[in-house]
Structure 1
Amino acid sequence: MNDIRSAATPSLVLVAHGTRNPRGVEMIATLAEAVGVEVGPTRVAFVDVLGPSPAEVLRELEGPAVVVPAFLASGYHVHTDVPREVAASEHPCTTVTPALGPDRVFARVMVDRLLAAGWRPGDAIVFAAAGSSDRRALAEHRRAALMVAELTDVPVRIGYVATAAPTVPDAVATLRSHGHQRVFVASYLLARGLFHDRLSDAGSDGVADPLGVHQGIVDLVVDRFRSGSAELAARSNDYSRGSVR
């Protein structure tokens, strides 16, 4: 996060994980396009699997930039990869916003996706997250799962696709062992990819679609961008006042 010396309107750099699944890549592009309608120039970067990287995108930008990590929790990619990429770019006018999640907008979208998958009030839910080795991210997953439980008023257990325990199949099995006949998996993933594909083998009665592009999520990205833009403007003003003195 660097000194600000420009009053130009910032560009938004939306940073996602990356996937080899074309539908996942298309979803991120569609999200960026929808956000761009609201805020102007929006670029996409990825921290894994495919490019361009955040550093590559930032090097191509001449004006200020707001980097928005399109992650649902603040794990390794948010705490380590994104700051490292920003530093490597040597871009002079950037700020990085908090990750997108947890936020109640995701809980509302997950309930919509569950209903579309056949979930009925009373059915138990497995909150399926990617997983992380970062305790801060796992704590944020618990907060996000609690939001879903508060909206649905049914038992919600967290299951992880990778890195953490319990696994999604184990979470499904636990709910069944507690007498729940119908168990649905809610996908706490932004886009289709390898992780979402694994959910179909969890032994549930249905799997909701990933979060995808939803107006509530578009609005959340726009809010992150506007907060980041305001921070850049404030720092620019501070710099100008310092120059006058």
Structure 2
Amino acid sequence: MAHGTRKAEGNEVARRLTAAAGERLGRPTVASYVELSEPLFADVMTNAEHPAVVVPLLLSTGFHMRTDLPEQAALASVPVSLGRQLGPDPLLARAQVERLLEAGARPGQRVVLVAAGSSEESATCDQMCAVAHLARAWDGQVELATLSGHGERPVDVIRPGDAVSPYLLSPGFFHDRLRREAPDGVVVADVMGAHERVVDLVVQRATQLAPASR
């Protein structure tokens, strides 16, 4: 279950992650979305005919995790096990490191992790934990900036010579905005996307949920 975006390539990330995890697990899968793309998670739950596990492809806590998803999962007439949000997690940090290196960042270079942001205090805690995971995986200084909600904005945090690691799964509005606003000469890594380490995490979460769905 992903948030959904108006960008087709953003929604494709959820489909690729879901398909890759299903192939490893040997289970039927479907990618769904909270909004902006089909199939909607609420519709998938309403039409579910078999017990299911739900792995949210969301990076922090917030309204969707606290309210939307439990309410929509309750629409199902079969047992549904709803997992917690995907991030923060060390596997995501490993994916971020590889994206930074692919973009040309140098080991030890100062990194700014840029998250979409939220007005939820719990999401800020998740973002700080993600910074700590990335600092360990990168073995260097990592600072936090957010594009909305609580926190400092990228323009106030990013310095010349920095590298930027988007704390985003999919391309879309926030990644486009980050690329536009990043200063010249600053390395901006790609989103995590359907990285192998993200697939590892989805498989891990689904496996943890599976016994509860039997």
TM > 0.5: yes
Aligned residue for 1:145? 131
Which moves more between the two structures, 202-211 or 190-199?
A: 202-211
Aligned residue for 1:61? 48
**Bigger strand share:** 1
Q: TM-score, normalised by structure 1?
A: 0.82
Matched, 1:222 2:203: yes
| Equivalent-residue separation in structure 2 for 1:90 and 1:27 (angstroms) | 25
Matched, 1:32 2:18: yes
**Contact 2:144-2:152 at 8 Å conserved across structures:** yes
Q: Determine helix, strand or coil for the equivalent of 1:69.
A: coil
Aligned residue for 2:167? 188
Alpha-carbon deviation of 1:165? 2.1
Please list every run of 5 or more consecutive structure 2 residues that lacks an aligned counterpart in the other structure: none
| Equivalent-residue separation in structure 1 for 2:61 and 2:81 (angstroms) | 16
Q: TM-score, normalised by structure 2?
A: 0.93
**Contact 2:49-2:78 at 8 Å conserved across structures:** no
AA matched with 1:159? A
Aligned length: 211
1:132-171 matched pairs, under 5 angstroms: 132-171=118-157
Q: Determine helix, strand or coil for the equivalent of 2:39.
A: coil
| Equivalent-residue separation in structure 1 for 2:117 and 2:77 (angstroms) | 31
Query: Superposition RMSD on alpha carbons, in Å?
Result: 1.4
Per-residue CA deviation, residues 164-214 of structure 1 (Å, 9 max, x unaligned), is 221122221xxx3xxxx4111101100100111111112161110000112
**Contact 1:53-1:85 at 8 Å conserved across structures:** no
**Contact 1:16-1:71 at 8 Å conserved across structures:** yes
1:1-245 matched pairs, under 5 angstroms: 15-39=1-25, 40-87=27-74, 89-172=75-158, 176=159, 181-200=160-179, 201-203=181-183, 205-233=186-214
| Equivalent-residue separation in structure 1 for 2:13 and 2:202 (angstroms) | 14
| Equivalent-residue separation in structure 2 for 1:105 and 1:86 (angstroms) | 26
Alpha-carbon deviation of 1:227? 1.4
